[in-house]
């Protein structure tokens, strides 16, 4: 199945499919993820911001969950 893309999201199923694509692409982003982790280590906190009205539609939870699992970083959704 091709990636849905953010412009074609019509329901929760579409969002779940998009999040699945994001999660599967994480291994190709290791360098960028490590850069974010280095910033976190230097500053002791970071914020991943989003423009989504509904937080359940934000793809950044994939990154948050990755950091939580990989580095045991405590997270908080505001």
- For CA atoms 23, 24, 27, 30, the dihedral sign is negative
Using alpha carbons only, how large is the chain's radius of gyration in Å? 13
Number of compact structural domains in the chain: 1
pLDDT in tens, 25-68: 988 999 999 999 999 999 999 998 888 787 778 888 899 899 99
Burial (Cβ within 10 Å: 0-12, 13-18, ≥19) of residue 23? middle
Is residue 14 domain-resident?
Answer: yes
Is residue 78 domain-resident?
Answer: no
Domain holding 14, by residue range, is: 6-71
Is residue 1 domain-resident?
Answer: no
Is residue 12 domain-resident?
Answer: yes
Q: Are 64 and 24 in contact (CB under 8 A)?
A: no
Residue 12 three-state SS: helix
pTM of the predicted protein model: 0.76
Is residue 43 domain-resident?
Answer: yes
Check residue 2 and give its pLDDT: 44
């Amino acid at each position: 199945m091709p990636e849905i893309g953010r412009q074609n999201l019509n329901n929760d199923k579409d969002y779940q499919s998009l999040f699945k694509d994001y999660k599967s692409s994480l291994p190709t982003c290791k360098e960028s993820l490590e850069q974010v982790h280095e910033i976190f280590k230097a500053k002791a906190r970071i914020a991943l911001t989003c423009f989504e009205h509904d937080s359940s539609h934000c793809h950044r939870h994939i990154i948050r969950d990755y950091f939580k699992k990989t580095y045991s970083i405590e997270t908080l959704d505001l």
